[in-house]
Structure 1
């Protein structure tokens, strides 16, 4: 793999020279008349010597006029989930705001209600033998249902526990953004386990093993009246029912973490502790990646943390796109003494960046002997 080493805040992190690895023009639309707006924010796994990316694919409906917005939703017809196209004429809907490429809202302030999303997302697998050159399936792997996913399935994260892969994702509907769970053993047969975190709660990342007899997961509720979008930690006996919720880490008053903060990728176990790649956005919605090092026996205990971003939008494909100034990860792998970060760039492509464990420790201010 060719790499381009970028030094960010004295940290050597190598972006793959093949970036972006997956782009919208590489993805076949799921329906005639649809257009793929983005392939991004993928869950990651290794299965039978293959690299598996479970990608979020966002689609809209083609429109010949800038004044006309078309997008699909899922509806129930005769007991089956089907596509329905919604058409809105901007000039005839002055009460609606179309400024954000991702959402249509009633009003322009931060507390405005989202009345529609501009795209519908499903999940689709891409496969690779080398982790760089991927072939994405021609058809959706998992389509949203007409109930709690009628506005889409977003941002899947994969955690392997024993021989089962647990896929949590954001299920979006007019009821809100909840976190749901799907399990698989072979990435061919999938079982829906239902909702595990109520709206609005997303960015869930599950630890890959029990700690002191309990499963743990980070999650990010979004309070509307009091509080900020912070990371919380929850525990479970069965990966379905979660409780004993505790606040873990919050947004800062200034800097790159002062807007919102969220789970990122599932934790990776190392000798020094759990490596936890997370995302943070400032109040201008510029998304960066950081890292926590957590105690192996006490996942709520932070041993070290990024003071500056581990990865931030710098390349053209990270600064420009469907929603620019974004790097956002849902999955990492640890192999050959390095962490491989697959990340969504500008909400429309998938990229890769590698960093050695030694460099990651250095970024955290930890020496090899500590």
Structure 2
């Protein structure tokens, strides 16, 4: 599907590392591996705000037969050396420890969040707020803060982000009155969950969220079932956005009939429409090292969000190699579009995505294409 506006709005070349929250605190040269997966909302002045994930990586991760990981210790970024014979470096984003009874990885980059202000229609950058950047603030974020999602509920902005550390892989909540000054409220989901999206409005007086807990074991559906076992989009509710109870009903699940969404997770926080809650989510087709990521849509019941009213026949947004072609020399992955934000713009939706784990993409989707 083609759209009237579909472009890269922010790339690694647009990041000034001299103004990074890590500047002067890493004893090695760094570069921007990616500026991608932006949470998005609309500010009081009418402009859009992207909360961009900046993956700041070591320029030379391998030194003297060791690969180094980046770890924030509260004051500086420490470089932890691992002998090459003990690790697998096939994945450009991380290295895996060999042996052991479960998968253990470390990162050669550390992610932080950069507020980027766009004009009201997402066509140009108006300002980059380095003074409001969000880096690790707790020991359970020592490997970085990733993939923000921003929801406005009433007069509050709620932002979830993945916090990475050896302690846990958890979801943290930030709150704000203006989407620029954020307060870290702490951990709200204490299990492996990278896609917590808070609905942009209350249901029955409660906050609701899509979640995506991960695991190494999934139980099979009966033979002939329409569903495929594996990661799915679940639901939870909360009286205060801090304490969450999983919903008894299943949410959006992979269909057995298609391999294109064999793995799935939440994309943009669900928004209220006249017909129901519009949810954009990602489906992953197994392919190569990380798979092919595409964006799909589903309409959920306004009062019972576990009930699916309608879904698109195929992908809404697909990876677009033409967008990243000018940045070919910086690419390390392809076949990925990872939608992370959606804002109402009258006759169309403004959709924010990460493209190829490299840059931020803005797409204008006519409302007639969904729902």
Q: Same fold (TM over 0.5)?
A: yes
Indicate the residue corresponding to 1:232 in structure 2.
Answer: 234
User: Aligned match of 1:39 in 27, 35, 39?
Assistant: 35
The alignment status of 1:160 with 2:152, answered yes or no, reads yes
- 154-163 vs 124-133, greater mean Cα deviation: 124-133
SS of equivalent residue, structure 1 residue 224: coil
Task: Give the structure 2 partner of residue 115 of structure 1.
Answer: 105
Counterpart Cα distance in 2 of 1:318 and 1:255 = 26
Structure 2 residue corresponding to 1:310, chosen from 281, 301, 316? 316
Give yes or no for the alignment of 1:323 onto 2:333: yes
Task: Return closer, same or farther for 1:107/1:139 CA change in 2, 3 Å cut-off.
Answer: farther
Separation in structure 1 between the aligned mates of residue 166 and residue 49 of structure 2, nearest angstrom: 31
Checking the alignment, whether the CA contact within 8 Å between 1:318 and 1:324 is kept in structure 2 is no
1:252 matched to 2:255: yes
- Out of 78, 84, 94, the residue aligned to residue 78 of structure 2 is 84
Offset at residue 15 of structure 1 (A): 4.2
Aligned to 1:141: 133
Partners of 2:119 and 2:178 in 1: how far apart?
A: 16
Cα displacement (A) at 1:216: 0.8
State whether residues 132 and 181 of structure 2, in contact with CA within 8 Å, keep that contact through their aligned partners in structure 1: no
Distance 1:64 1:270 in 2: 47
8 Å CA contact 1:334, 1:340 repeated in 2: yes
Asked whether the equivalents of residues 61 and 108 of structure 2 are also in contact (C-alpha less than 8 Å), the reply is: no
Q: CA deviation at 1:233?
A: 0.6
The CA deviation at 1:283 is: 1.8
Say if 1:106 and 1:112, in contact at 8 Å, map to a contact too: no
Which region of structure 1 is more displaced relative to structure 2, 99-108 or 176-185? Answer: 99-108
Shift of 1:250: 2.1
Do the aligned partners of 1:337 and 1:357 also contact (CA within 8 Å) in 2? yes
Is 1:26 the counterpart of 2:19? The answer is no
Greater CA drift, 318-327 or 260-269: 318-327
**TM-score for the superposition, normalised by structure 1:** 0.86
Structure 1: tracts of 5 or more residues without a match: 1-7, 362-370
Matches within 5 A, 1:217-228: 217-227=209-219, 228=230
For the Cα contact (< 8 Å) 1:96–1:107, is it kept in 2? Answer: yes
Check conservation: 1:42, 1:330, Cα contact below 8 A: yes
In the TM superposition, what is the alpha-carbon distance from 1:161 to its structure 2 partner?
Answer: 1.3
Structure 2's unaligned 5+ residue stretches are 220-229
The structural deviation recorded for 1:64 is 8.3
TM-score with structure 2 length normalisation? 0.85
CA distance in 1, matches of 2:102, 2:285: 19
Post-superposition shift, 1:112?
Answer: 5.1
Secondary structure of the structure 1 residue equivalent to 2:139: coil
The residue that corresponds to 2:55 in the other structure is 58
In structure 2, the residue matched to 1:3 is none
Structure 1 position 270 matched with structure 2 position 268: no
Measured after TM superposition, the shift of residue 138 of structure 1 is 3.9
TM-aligned CA distance change 1:64 to 1:75, over 3 Å: closer
Q: Does 1:100 align with 2:91?
A: yes
Aligned equivalents of 1:249, 1:65: Cα separation in 2: 41
SS at match of 2:278: strand
Alpha-carbon distance between aligned partners in 2 of 1:273 and 1:218, rounded to the nearest angstrom: 15
Q: CA deviation at 1:65?
A: 6.2
1:204 equivalent in structure 2:
196
Alignment partner of 1:150 is 2:160: no
How many equivalent pairs are there?
340
Tell me how far apart the structure 2 counterparts of residues 237 and 64 of structure 1 sit (CA, whole Å).
45
Give the distance between the partners of 2:119 and 2:173, measured in 1 at CA: 27
- Assess, with a 3 A threshold, how the Cα gap between structure 1 residues 174 and 192 changes in structure 2: closer, same or farther: same
Q: Offset of 1:24 from its aligned partner?
A: 0.4
Query: Between Structure 1 and Structure 2, which shows a larger proportion of strand residues?
Result: 1
Q: Of 279, 284, 294, which aligns to 1:281? A: 284
Give me the whole-angstrom Cα distance separating, in 1, the residues matched to 2:337 and 2:324: 6
Residue number among 286, 296, 302 corresponding to 1:290 in the alignment: 296
Q: Aligned partners of 2:203, 2:180: CA distance in 1, in Å? A: 30
Aligned mate of 2:352, from 342, 352, 357: 342
